[in-house]
Amino acid sequence: MSAPILSTHGLTKRFGGLLASDYLDFDVITGEVHAVIGPNGAGKTTLINQLIGELVPDGGRIEFEGRDITTLPSYRRSLLGLSRSYQITSVFPDFTALENVSLAAQAHDGHSFGLWRPVSREERLARPARAALEEVGLSTKNHTYAAELAHGEHRQLELAMALVSRPKVLLLDEPMAGMGRLESESMIKLLASLKRRYTIVLVEHDMDVVFALADRISVLVYGKTIACGSPSAIRASIEVKRAYLGERYASG
Amino acid sequence: MLLFPEAVSLRSPRVIAAALFILLLALVPPISDAIGESYYVTLVTRILIFGLAAAGLNLVLGYGGLVSFGHALYLGIGAYTVGILSFHGVSNGWIHLVVTIVLSALVSLLTGLVCMRTSGIAFIMITLAFAQMFYFLGISLKQYGGDDGLNIAQRSDFGPLISIQTNTGLYYFAFGVVATTLYLSWRFVHARFGRLLRGTKSNVRRMRVLGFPVLRYQVVAYVISGCLCGVAGLLLGNFAKFASPAYMYWTVSGDLIVMVILGGISTIMGPLVGAAVYVILETVLSGYTQHWMVILGPIIVFIALMANRGLYGLFLAREAPGSRNSVS
Amino acid sequence: MGGWALRRQAAHVGERRPDPAFFLLFGKSMTWNLLVIQALNGLQYGVLLFLLAAGLTLVLGVMNFVNLAHGSLYMLGAYIAAAVFARSNSFILAGLAAVLGTLLIGAIIERTTLRTFYARGHLDQVLATFGLILFFNEAVRIIWGQSPVYMAAPDAFSGTIDLLGSSYPSYRVLVIVVGLMMGGGLYLLIHHTRVGMLIRAGATNAQMVSVLGVDIQFLNTLLFGLGAAMAGLSGMMAAPIFAVQPGMGDNVLIAIIVVIVIGGIGSVRGAFYGALIVGVVDTVGRIYLPLLLRQVAERTIADAAGPALASMLIYLFMAVVLAVRPQGLFPARR
Query: Under an 8 A CB cutoff, do C308 and B141 touch?
Result: yes
Query: Under an 8 A CB cutoff, do A148 and B322 touch?
Result: yes
pLDDT for position C1: 36
- Residue A62, φ and ψ in degrees, nearest 5: -120, 130
Query: Under an 8 A CB cutoff, do B195 and A106 touch?
Result: yes
Do residues A121 and A140 both lie within one domain?
yes
Q: Taking the CB of residue C3, how many other CB atoms lie within 10 A of it?
A: 13
A133, A165, A197: which is the final residue of a domain? Answer: A165
pLDDT for position A1: 53
When scoring B6, B210, B308 by the number of chain A Cβ atoms within 10 A, the one with the most, hence best to mutate, is: B210
CATH number, domain with residue A47 = 3.40.50.300
Number of domains in chain A: 2
- Rounded Cα distance, B31 and B198, in Å: 39
What's the gap in Å between the CA of A179 and the closest CA on chain B? 22
What's the gap in Å between the CA of B7 and the closest CA on chain C? 31
Q: What is the pLDDT along chain C (334 residues), one digit of tens a residue?
A: 334 444 444 444 444 445 555 555 445 555 777 888 888 899 999 999 999 999 899 888 888 888 999 999 999 999 999 999 988 888 889 999 999 999 999 999 998 888 888 888 888 999 999 999 999 999 999 999 999 988 888 877 778 888 777 788 888 888 999 999 988 998 888 888 887 887 777 666 666 666 777 777 788 888 899 999 999 999 999 999 888 999 899 889 999 999 999 999 888 889 999 999 999 999 988 888 877 887 877 777 777 777 778 878 899 889 888 888 888 898 876 4
Residues of chain A with pLDDT below 50 are 249-252
Report yes or no on C329 lying in a domain.
no
The angle that helices C2-11 and C248-263 make with each other, rounded to 10 degrees, is: 60
Report yes or no on C330 lying in a domain.
no
Report yes or no on A220 lying in a domain.
yes
Residue B213's domain comprises: 13-317
Amino acid of residue C299: R
Residue C238's domain comprises: 21-324
Interface of C with B in 192-211 (CB under 8 A): none
What is the chain B residue with the closest CA to C15? B136
B216 touches chain A (CB under 8 A): no
What is the chain C residue with the closest CA to B65? C123
Q: Taking the CB of residue C102, how many other CB atoms lie within 10 A of it?
A: 31
Do residues A147 and A186 both lie within one domain?
no
When scoring B6, B183, B185, B192 by the number of chain A Cβ atoms within 10 A, the one with the most, hence best to mutate, is: B192
Report yes or no on C133 lying in a domain.
yes
Residue A159's domain comprises: 91-165
Binding-site residues on chain A for chain B (CB distance < 8 A): 52-54, 73-75, 78-79, 84, 86, 90-95, 99, 103-104, 106-108, 112-120, 122, 144-145, 147-148, 161, 165
Report yes or no on A5 lying in a domain.
yes
Report yes or no on B213 lying in a domain.
yes
Interface of C with B in 237-256 (CB under 8 A): 250, 254
Do residues A11 and A125 both lie within one domain?
no
Do residues A180 and A74 both lie within one domain?
yes
Q: Sort out which chain C residues have CB atoms less than 8 A from B137's CB and list them.
A: 308, 311-312
Do residues A178 and A131 both lie within one domain?
no
Number of domains in chain B: 1
pLDDT for position C30: 59
Number of domains in chain C: 1
Do residues A2 and A66 both lie within one domain?
yes
Nearest Cβ partner of C126 from B69, B129, B242? B69
Report yes or no on C333 lying in a domain.
no
Report yes or no on A192 lying in a domain.
yes
- The widest CA-to-CA distance across chain B, in whole angstroms, is 60
Report yes or no on C95 lying in a domain.
yes
When scoring C142, C256, C257, C278 by the number of chain B Cβ atoms within 10 A, the one with the most, hence best to mutate, is: C257
ipTM of the complex as predicted: 0.91
pLDDT for position C206: 63
Report yes or no on B327 lying in a domain.
no
Report yes or no on C203 lying in a domain.
yes
Report yes or no on A86 lying in a domain.
no
Report yes or no on C79 lying in a domain.
yes
- Residue B289, φ and ψ in degrees, nearest 5: -150, 150
CATH number, domain with residue B69 = 1.10.3470
- Rounded Cα distance, C201 and A17, in Å: 15
Residues B147, B245: contact at Cβ < 8 Å? yes
- pLDDT tens across A107-126, in order? 999 999 999 999 999 999 99
Do residues A220 and A114 both lie within one domain?
no
Q: Sort out which chain C residues have CB atoms less than 8 A from B293's CB and list them.
A: 134-135, 137-138
Do residues A6 and A19 both lie within one domain?
yes
Query: Under an 8 A CB cutoff, do A92 and B203 touch?
Result: yes
CATH number, domain with residue C150 = 1.10.3470
Report yes or no on B188 lying in a domain.
yes
Report yes or no on C316 lying in a domain.
yes
Q: Sort out which chain A residues have CB atoms less than 8 A from B214's CB and list them.
A: 75
Report yes or no on A10 lying in a domain.
yes
A140, A165, A190: which is the final residue of a domain? Answer: A165
Query: Under an 8 A CB cutoff, do B291 and C142 touch?
Result: yes
- Residue A137, φ and ψ in degrees, nearest 5: 85, 30
Do residues A102 and A122 both lie within one domain?
yes
In this structure, is the dihedral angle defined by the CA atoms of residues B161, B163, B168 and B171, taken in order, positive or negative?
positive
pTM reported for the whole predicted model? 0.89
Residues of chain B with pLDDT below 70 are 1, 317-328
Do residues A77 and A98 both lie within one domain?
no
pLDDT for position C21: 53
Report yes or no on A26 lying in a domain.
yes
Query: Under an 8 A CB cutoff, do B210 and A161 touch?
Result: yes
Report yes or no on A107 lying in a domain.
yes
Query: Under an 8 A CB cutoff, do B211 and A107 touch?
Result: yes
B289 touches chain C (CB under 8 A): no
- Rounded Cα distance, B118 and B69, in Å: 14
Nearest Cβ partner of C315 from B69, B133, B147? B133
Query: Under an 8 A CB cutoff, do B291 and C261 touch?
Result: no
Q: HEC profile for chain C?
A: CHHHHHHHHHHCCCCCCCCHHHHHCCCCHHHHHHHHHHHHHHHHHHHHHHHHHHHHHHHHHHHCCCCCCHHHHHHHHHHHHHHHHHHHCCHHHHHHHHHHHHHHHHHHHHHHCHHHHCCCCHHHHHHHHHHHHHHHHHHHHHHHCCCCECCCCCHHHCCEEEECCEEEEHHHHHHHHHHHHHHHHHHHHHHHCHHHHHHHHHHHCHHHHHHCCCCHHHHHHHHHHHHHHHHHHHHHHHCCCCCECCCHHHHHHHHHHHHHHHHCCCCHHHHHHHHHHHHHHHHHHHHHHHHHHHHHCCHHHHHHHHHHHHHHHHHHHHHHHHHHCCCCCCCCCC
A101, A132, A165: which is the final residue of a domain? Answer: A165
CA–chain centroid gap for B82, Å, is 18
B19 to B6, B271, B276, B321: CA distances (angstroms): 16, 15, 15, 22
Report yes or no on A65 lying in a domain.
yes
Query: Under an 8 A CB cutoff, do B199 and A92 touch?
Result: yes
pLDDT for position A13: 93
Do residues A236 and A140 both lie within one domain?
no
Nearest Cβ partner of B211 from A79, A93, A95? A79
Interface of B with C in 186-225 (CB under 8 A): none
